[in-house]
Amino acid sequence: MLFVDYSSAFNTIIPSLLTTKLGDLGLHTSLCDWISNFLTDRPQSVRVGNCASSTLTLSTGAPQGCVLSPLLYSLYTYDCTATSSSNTIVKFADDTVVVGLISDNDERAYLEEIKHLENWCQENNLLLNVSKTKELIVDCSKKQERHYQPVRISGTTVERVDSFRYLGVHISQDLSWSRHTSSLAKKARQRLYHLRRLRDFRLPSKVLRNFYTCTIESILTGNITVWFGNSTKQDRQALQRVVRSAERITHSELPDLQTTYYKRCQTKARKIVKDPTHPNNRLFSLLRSGRRFRSLKAKTERLKRSFFPQAIRALNQGN
Helix (H, G, I), strand (E, B), or coil: what is residue 103? strand
Strands (DSSP E) found in 24-146: 42-44, 47-48, 51-52, 56-58, 87-92, 95-100, 134-136
The pLDDT of residue 144 is 66
Rounded Cα–Cα distance for residues 196 and 183 (Å) = 21
What are the mean pLDDT values of the chain's consecutive 10-residue runs (319 residues total)? 96 96 96 96 93 94 91 97 97 95 92 98 96 94 79 96 96 96 98 97 96 98 97 98 98 96 96 96 94 93 96 90
The pLDDT of residue 147 is 86
Which has the closest alpha carbon to 125: 66, 76, 186?
Answer: 76
CATH tag for 2-39+57-171 (out of 3.30.70, 3.60.15, 3.40.50, 2.60.120)? 3.30.70
Indicate the domain borders of the chain.
2-39+57-171, 178-222+231-255, 261-318
Q: What digits encode the pLDDT tens for the residues 237-252?
A: 999 999 999 999 999 9
The pLDDT of residue 241 is 98
Q: What digits encode the pLDDT tens for the residues 291-309?
A: 999 999 999 999 999 999 9
Q: Which long-range contacts (CB under 8 A, 24 or more apart) does 312-316 make?
A: 312/269, 312/283, 312/284, 314/262, 314/265, 314/266, 314/269, 315/266, 315/269, 315/270, 315/273, 315/284, 316/292
Cβ-contact 227, 181 below 8 angstroms = yes
Pairing of strands 134-136, 159-161: parallel
Look up residue 268 and give its DSSP letter: H
The pLDDT of residue 214 is 97
pTM for the model: 0.91
